[in-house]
Structure 1
Amino acid sequence: MEGGGDVVYRTNITTSLQDPCLTSMAHVTDEGIEFIRPQKITETHVVLNITGFSGYGNVKDEDSPPDPVRALVLLFYRPPEDPDPESLINVLLLPKNVSLWDVQRTRKKLVGHEWYIETSPHCKLQPNQVYTLSTCPNNDLVEVQPTEAEFDEDSYDNYFPSFQVNWETTLKHLKLILKDTDSSLVVWERRVCLMSTGKRKSCGPNTANAPPNERLLNIRSCFIDGISEPVLKNLLDKLLETKVMTDSERESVDGMDNRRDKARFVIDTVRKKGEAAGSEMIEFLCEVDPFLCGHLGLM
């Protein structure tokens, strides 16, 4: 394509040369390649003065592997239920941009009750690459199915597990190791804390049939002690979106430095607003942290 008049290009090519006499640029045209001197070089740009347009772009070998993407390894635990002694962890490999809220809500509809295990989920995975999950202890008592799975960053809407880990004995801790199958490089490794008995005991009396306000009052101390800062923020977002809490109340919470004070303010504020508000808080809490709700006896 021909251009009329002078055209000044600025390109952010990194160079340590500040003398235009020592640098040449390739100008690609239909007739061939012309090497021209830059008009000006700065610390961040090379300025050219040319009379046509240059075809250029980023190129990559079509056989080269895709770049790694930021991903999440999410764990959902299903404890044993009498008389079945089997415990199960569903391991999901997902891209980082998924919402944990959506994952929990969808899986609750699909499989019912399970507890999200809060651990650092971040890693980098290559699309369409096969990964291997192993455990420690690595013996016949702990089974991983399948042992290998491909990371698909595009097809994940149903949030099916990539791996399932099951065992029929009592474990307090379990280490999970995710490796690149081809290179054996460890891309994610965590030590997961499990319940010593395989079941979580409820905090306080069973008040499933009590009014929501009474249920919140009964679990008040355990809620204040047990809720984490990220879960509390998610809960606050839900309460604000549904107008259970007001903007000024949210600002009051944000102005507090102590997590326990924040939790105390939230549960007491909602409790005083009636049964409908209390019921919504219980529902939201069960969605954002089923593990804690099981401990509190709310599920």
Structure 2
Amino acid sequence: MWVSKHSHGSQLKTSNCLVSLPNIIISVQQKKETHTGLEQLEVDELFLLDVLQSVSGLKKVHMQTDRWTVRWNPIILSLVQAFPSLNELRINATVSFNPLKIIQSLRESLTRTGWTLTVWRKSVLIERDRKSFRVSQLRTIKTENIESKRAESFSGQSSSDDAEVFTPDHVQEDDEDKHKNSYRFVCPHAGHFQCTLTNIVFVMEGEGEVRYKTVSWDPRLLDGLGQMKSAGPLYNIDCFHGSISRLHLPHCEISEENKDGLAVAHLTGGNIAIMQPLQVTETHVMIDIRDLSIFGLIKRMIFPPSPVAAQVLVFLRPITLRQRENILDVHLLPLNVPLSEVKDQHTENTHIKTSSKCSLTPATEYSLCCQPEESTVQPETEMFECHFGPNYHPTFEVFVNVNIEEVKLSLLDKTEGKEVWLPRRIPLTASDKDSDPPAHKRLTESVFVKKHRDKLIKRVSSVMAIADGLRTNDMIPDEMYSKVRAAKTRQEKTRLLLDALDSGGASVKTEFYRLLKDEEPYLVDELESGHSGLQ
């Protein structure tokens, strides 16, 4: 516990009022910390009792702690015995009250002295009279403690916002889920590191190599766990030559009730264990870990559906010679679904970057609106669900005349009749150097490969790097890859690879073009500059 001395006078916060005390503010935590403007000193329960005794007719006390330990039991017993006027003691903890043995021991001791103890998630209510414990009381406790959440930074829990940001490498693994992204991060030193693609934060004890990927949720895994439901992607995490001490998994919950219902499923050897969070912030769920395997967020569905942080992702399908319409695929997904996972399942499509964040309510009907009105949207309405793979199919399809260069899209809540994603301008032709190429360019890229076939056979020097990239994206079969690799000359390797492109279609040629431009940009520029009609 600690006491903070404040220069402007202080107060002891009880459940229903603030009792003025001479130059002291009392808060309850387990660690000695320092913070600008506050001097914090270690104190014991005797000091706390002395301070409370200065309050005449004390009836209610409200405390905040970072976690419950066995050391709390004698403190609580001393409090209820020392103050005859006290009839209610409320305690909120950052971490859910666990293990239950500690609480059970205290409950038995209090019962013998005429008190009742009730636990609800992260709150404890101790009452002199045996009144029923109502959810409304706990919601009142939560409302009163919104401001006190700022003090959680003293508890030793680090914010995800303070982490160093990194972009992981993509690696190819020989397993059955070749369409899945597999990420690698080589950690240079101890610290907090946040992945730009998944938003996971790794708390590292030192340097090491982390590999992680999403795996599919098996619905049977949550059987027998009551009303538990998946609340985020399932990640398989491993660490080589290093150690991870803590994970911060991104969540998409907005309401305080749903945040309190979050937990982490830890899967090992076909068994599932439920891990209670150390802390739940606005964006992440933090857990301590001892061993690595598979982790995923789950939540208890005890409240009616409430809005979650979500995203609207827009993709443009590749255009063909006979096509007279552009086709947009629009996905409605929870915000903690990585964009990279969706893009990896739709490599033939162009992701159109736009402001995608919004709030959506599960089990609610939405409709997509498109201007110009001549465009067609199907289906007319669709229900939003918090879906975390393995497949990410579009929620809506939009058909637009091929001559139209821009549309406006918006999303309407059919139940309340209001826009939840305001109109966005969606360009169908324009792009910049940092975005994916527009879909109409894909035909051009396919023509580029066909027209420059002879020159490419003679001049491409990075043929195996390109073949590796195509294989990683599962765009050429293993048999063809082996033939390319076994060829004796570079020219023969390139010829075989171009033959494989002919059977793969426009999307494979587009990927070949992209890889070639990454590996040999000067060659691409030179060939394109001599044929302005292809630009």
Q: TM-score range by the shorter chain?
A: 0.5 to 0.7
Match in the other structure for 1:92: 331
Compute the displacement of 1:105 (Å).
Answer: 2.3
CA shift in 2, pair 1:298/1:40, >3 Å: closer
Within the candidate set 118, 133, 140, 1:55 is matched to: 118
Within the candidate set 132, 136, 139, 2:367 is matched to: 132
1:32-181 alignment to 2 at 5 Å? 36-37=86-87, 51-52=110-111, 54-57=117-120, 59=135, 65-108=304-347, 113-137=348-372, 139=373, 141-154=374-387, 156-181=389-414
TM-score by length of 1: 0.54
Match in the other structure for 1:241: none
Native 8 Å contact 1:142 1:165 kept in 2: yes
Once the two structures are overlaid, the 10-residue window that deviates more, 175-184 or 115-124, is 115-124
CA shift in 2, pair 1:155/1:16, >3 Å: same
Q: Are 1:298 and 2:361 counterparts?
A: no
Q: Are 1:200 and 2:441 counterparts?
A: yes
CA shift in 2, pair 1:13/1:146, >3 Å: farther
User: Match for 1:84: what amino acid?
Assistant: Q
Native 8 Å contact 1:127 1:153 kept in 2: yes
CA shift in 2, pair 1:176/1:295, >3 Å: farther
Q: Distance in 2 between matches of 1:283 and 1:71?
A: 33
Once the two structures are overlaid, the 10-residue window that deviates more, 189-198 or 115-124, is 189-198
> Partner of 1:51: helix, strand, or coil?
helix
Q: Distance in 1 between matches of 2:313 and 2:457?
A: 31
Question: What does the per-residue CA deviation read over 1:85-129, in whole Å, with 9 as the maximum and x for residues that have no partner?
Answer: 021101111112222222222234xxxx22111222222211111
Match in the other structure for 1:251: none
CA shift in 2, pair 1:16/1:89, >3 Å: farther
User: Match for 1:93: what amino acid?
Assistant: L
Question: What does the per-residue CA deviation read over 1:157-199, in whole Å, with 9 as the maximum and x for residues that have no partner?
Answer: 3211111110234212111101211112222232111117972
> Partner of 2:354: helix, strand, or coil?
coil
Q: Are 1:183 and 2:183 counterparts?
A: no
Native 8 Å contact 1:212 1:282 kept in 2: no
Native 8 Å contact 2:333 2:387 kept in 1: no
Question: What does the per-residue CA deviation read over 1:8-54, in whole Å, with 9 as the maximum and x for residues that have no partner?
Answer: xxxx987661356575369xxxxxxxx9356899xx9xxxx982451
1:253-268 alignment to 2 at 5 Å? none
Q: Distance in 2 between matches of 1:25 and 1:176?
A: 53
1:15-26 alignment to 2 at 5 Å? 17-18=18-19, 21=57, 24=60
Native 8 Å contact 2:470 2:511 kept in 1: no
Q: Distance in 1 between matches of 2:333 and 2:418?
A: 19
User: Match for 1:193: what amino acid?
Assistant: P
CA shift in 2, pair 1:101/1:83, >3 Å: same
Structure 1 stretches of 5 or more lacking a match? Answer: 1-11, 27-34, 216-270
> Partner of 1:182: helix, strand, or coil?
coil
Q: Larger relative contact order (C-alpha < 8 A, sep ≥ 6)?
A: 1
Native 8 Å contact 1:93 1:162 kept in 2: yes
Q: Distance in 2 between matches of 1:205 and 1:81?
A: 12
User: Match for 1:157: what amino acid?
Assistant: P
CA shift in 2, pair 1:207/1:183, >3 Å: same
User: Match for 1:68: what amino acid?
Assistant: P
CA shift in 2, pair 1:119/1:282, >3 Å: farther
Q: Distance in 1 between matches of 2:406 and 2:470?
A: 29
**Percentage of identical aligned residues:** 25
Alignment RMSD: 4.7
CA shift in 2, pair 1:212/1:281, >3 Å: farther
Question: What does the per-residue CA deviation read over 1:212-237, in whole Å, with 9 as the maximum and x for residues that have no partner?
Answer: 9966xxxxxxxxxxxxxxxxxxxxxx
CA shift in 2, pair 1:168/1:198, >3 Å: farther
CA shift in 2, pair 1:104/1:40, >3 Å: closer
CA shift in 2, pair 1:76/1:176, >3 Å: same
Compute the displacement of 1:67 (Å).
Answer: 2.1
User: Match for 1:135: what amino acid?
Assistant: C
Q: Number of residue pairs matched?
A: 211
Once the two structures are overlaid, the 10-residue window that deviates more, 164-173 or 57-66, is 57-66
Q: Distance in 2 between matches of 1:122 and 1:212?
A: 45
Native 8 Å contact 2:333 2:386 kept in 1: yes
Q: Distance in 2 between matches of 1:296 and 1:181?
A: 43
Q: Distance in 2 between matches of 1:280 and 1:135?
A: 40
Structure 2 stretches of 5 or more lacking a match? Answer: 1-12, 21-54, 63-84, 95-106, 122-134, 137-256, 258-300, 431-437, 476-505, 516-535
CA shift in 2, pair 1:160/1:198, >3 Å: closer
Once the two structures are overlaid, the 10-residue window that deviates more, 151-160 or 68-77, is 151-160
Q: Distance in 1 between matches of 2:370 and 2:16?
A: 48
> Partner of 1:298: helix, strand, or coil?
helix
Q: Distance in 1 between matches of 2:357 and 2:311?
A: 5
Q: Distance in 1 between matches of 2:89 and 2:15?
A: 16
Match in the other structure for 1:244: none
Q: Distance in 2 between matches of 1:168 and 1:195?
A: 12
